[in-house]
Amino acid sequence: MDDEQEPSILGSFLLEPAGDEPAGSDLSAREEAGTRRGTRFRLVRNVLLAVLLATMVVVGVLFGPTAWQLLREKNTTIVTPPQVVGLTRDDAADQAGLDYLRSGMSAGTPVDHTVAAVYSPPGDRAHNVLFIGGTGLMLHPDRALDSMFGLVNDQTDGVETVRSEPPGPLGGILRCGTTRIDADTVAVCGWADHGSIAVAMFAGRGVDEAADMLLHMRAAMQRRH
């Protein structure tokens, strides 16, 4: 019994059996590490959600109106009724010439269907209206209308003094200008939206009168489904 040595003071700290305290320390360390990982995960998740939300807001602000307009305007038809705004359709007009203009519209704009007609007041060919229109999905209506005015350029001395006009309840854009055919000045007006485009040339009329007439023609000729 006298040979049995008492543990030294240092030994009492260093050589203590691995019991509750070390196990408890390891468990505490694992819990702390798990807590840190959980905190980092939640932080990353919250940051990603915030970025996603911000991106959705930006996309909605930038493209939301355009997407809505595309859905609202894409299913459109244009008809050429026998009478419109006091004018009568001239079924004896040069169909080959009208077909040529329709082909030009098909080549220069993203339309799937085209129409063309000549209208005139009864017994008054000096105030004829040449109308050409088409329907299809147009992502950039302004560019499509510029292309149509370019088609007019090929047939005349070009469209000058182009200005924007109120497009009316159907929306989109409406622009008017003038061109010269031989010695005569002719008003040219056109509309375009995401589902349709049309240009009309008004002989013997000013731009203001032509813009008002095209608004009424559009209301009678364009249909959305």
Whether the pLDDT of residue 35 is over 70: the answer is no
- CATH of the structural domain 76-224, one choice from 2.40.50, 3.30.70, 3.40.1000, 1.10.287: 3.40.1000
Most distant CA pair in the chain: distance in Å?
142
- H-helix or E-strand spanning residue 134: strand 129-135
Whether the pLDDT of residue 118 is over 90: the answer is yes
Class of residue 85 by CB neighbours under 10 A (exposed 0-12, middle 13-18, buried 19+): middle
What is the per-residue pLDDT for 72? 64
pLDDT averaged over every residue in the chain: 80
Q: For the segment 90-117, what is each residue's pLDDT rounded down to a tens digit?
A: 999 899 989 999 999 999 899 999 999 9
Whether the pLDDT of residue 32 is over 70: the answer is no
Q: How far is CA 161 from CA 41, 116, 158, 184, 188, in A?
A: 62, 25, 10, 16, 10
Once rounded to an integer, what is the mean pLDDT over residues 139-144?
Answer: 90
Range in 80-84, 121-125, 200-204, 205-209 the model is least confident about: 121-125
Is the pTM here over 0.85, yes or no? no
What is the per-residue pLDDT for 75? 79
